[in-house]
Structures are given as C-alpha cells and as structure tokens.
Amino acid sequence: MGRVVVVTDASTGIPRSLAEALSIAVLPITAEEDGDPDSEDDASSRLSESAEADELDAANRPFVTAYLEAVEQPGVDAAVVVTPAVEFASMFRNAVLAAELAGIPAVAVDSRTASAGQALVVLAGAEAAARGEELPQVVRTLESAVRRVELVASLATLEPIRRSGPLPAEVLGPPELEGGRSVFRMRSGAVEPLGATASGDEALVRILDAFKESGRHGVERVAIFHAGAPELAARLGELLGEVDFVAGFSRAMQVHTGRGVVGAAWLARDAPGG
C-alpha cells in the first residue's frame, strides 16, 4: 500500500525530535495569550479570562479540515488519526469525519486516554508505520497500545478541570485541596480517583505504586508530563527509573488542568502467555 502516516494533536506533548524522526503529523492546539509570548515573566504568559472561555468552547479543535489536510499530505498512501478519548474531547468526531472524506484509506483511532498516554499510543503506531507495515497492521498495533496504556496524574487544584467539564462531580471532589493533591488514574476512557494526598511527595509515591502494580510484567515505554512542575517531574523520574521522555503541557492544555499537574503514562506488557 505504501507509506502510512500517523496524525495526532499537540496535546500529546510528543517531543519534536521524536515526531520528526517518525514523521508524525502533529496538529497544533492554540490559545491566545496576554503579554509577550517570548517573555520569561510568568505573568505575561497567563491566559486572559476571555481566551480561557474561548478555548473551553473550542474543545473540538483541530477541525475536520486540519485533519483532512494532514491525512492527504503529498507522498502519503494511507493514514491513521489518533485522538484523545471521546469522553474528554470532541476531536475523535472530527477525525472520523476527516477519515470518511479522505481520498486515501484512513482510519480514526480513539486512544481512550489523553496527554502522554495518547503520545505512547501514537508512538507505537508510528513505529509500526516506520517499519513499513501496512494500514491494517498499524491499526492493530495502535489497538494493542490502546488496550495497555495507563496514565496516573496528580493535580494541585481541581477548579480548572471542573470548569472545563470533562469529569463528573463524584470523581472530582472539592475544588481546592488546601495544600494537598488529588491523584487519579485514566484508563479505557474512564477516570478513577485514587484519593487525595497531603503533599506532592505523597502523590508521587502513589503514582509509583500504580506504576508498579500495572507494570508488574514490565513496561515498553514510560513518559512523564507536567504543567509548570519540573521539580516534581524530576523527582517522579527518579522514582520510576528509566523514562523515555518528559513532556511539558502547552498553555492550551493548562486551561483544562491548571498549573502544577504532574503524572506518568506507560505501556504495560501483557502477562506471559496472555
């Protein structure tokens, strides 16, 4: 069939070097900013209230036309579009429509996760495509990764994600954590609360415990992500051991999570003989 391209969006945080090496088409998700975007002053990079409202209303980005353009880029014979879980963003619907409209064979795959978890799914499919596998094999590789990917994260505040509305109230609990942190697991399109912790270090240990439990048969790849919490991310990396990459959240993603989020995603290996 020829070259298969994997298309995704910037919410994954995939490092540019990896995206370029594997010819992954990464579509931007933008947010308007106040002040000078190149300034080191944190205040200048804060989103305006109106921009936050616009960004939350525009949860269906990238649009169908953007997906379609990436799918039908020159030199591509088939394409797979990988999106965040449909429960948390409407990108999958746009991706499905773009795949239906495309002039080449194209498939949309819901990663059933988000952020760095989605990145790991994308990378698995892109590596299959780079090996020269055809579209059905690439899709099967992606589906295997979707089944095995896990993400556990800690939030410093719940107000931004409560305002953006992707999670039910019973999962979120109280909006302010009074110095503590909330920990949750995202798997198979569902969010499971893992409770509140009294400190960042306690939250990291809880992430480590989840990692050890689900990765007891080994892991293929591990990624850490954070939003303005590089020290916590570094400590988490030390706890987990070998980490494939660390990704920072874009300002558009921070609209939904707030600053201070830190977490890990991994692809767990199946049990022997499973």
- pLDDT (tens digit per residue) in 134-157: 999 999 999 999 999 999 999 876
Q: Which of 117, 147, 177 is the last residue of a domain?
A: 147
Q: Which of 129, 147, 165 is the last residue of a domain?
A: 147
Q: Regarding beta strands 219-226 and 262-268, do their DSSP bridges make them parallel or antiparallel, or are they unpaired?
A: antiparallel
Are 166 and 210 within one domain?
yes
The alpha carbon of 39 is separated from its chain's Cα centroid by a whole number of angstroms, namely: 26
% of the chain with per-residue pLDDT over 90: 59
Are 140 and 184 within one domain?
no
What global pTM score does this model have? 0.83
Residues 224, 262 contacting (CB under 8 angstroms): yes
Are 91 and 27 within one domain?
yes
Are 120 and 96 within one domain?
yes
Task: Look at the chain and report how many structural domains it folds into.
Answer: 2
Question: 156 lies in which domain range?
Answer: 148-268
Q: How confident is the model at residue 228 (pLDDT cuts 50, 70, 90)?
A: confident
- Determine the pLDDT at residue 87: 86
Q: Judge whether 25 lies within some domain.
A: yes
Are 10 and 36 within one domain?
yes
Are 169 and 38 within one domain?
no
Please say if the pLDDT value at position 51 is more than 90: no
Residue type, 211: F
Distances (CA, A) of 38 to 16, 44, 143, 248: 19, 9, 39, 16
Residues 32, 134 contacting (CB under 8 angstroms): no
Q: Judge whether 273 lies within some domain.
A: no
Are 108 and 25 within one domain?
yes
Are 175 and 199 within one domain?
yes
CATH number for position 202: 3.30.1180.10
Largest Cα–Cα separation, the chain = 56
Nearest by Cα to 196 from 161, 166, 150, 154: 154
The dihedral sign for the CA sequence 226, 228, 233, 234 = positive
Q: How confident is the model at residue 88 (pLDDT cuts 50, 70, 90)?
A: confident
Q: Judge whether 274 lies within some domain.
A: no
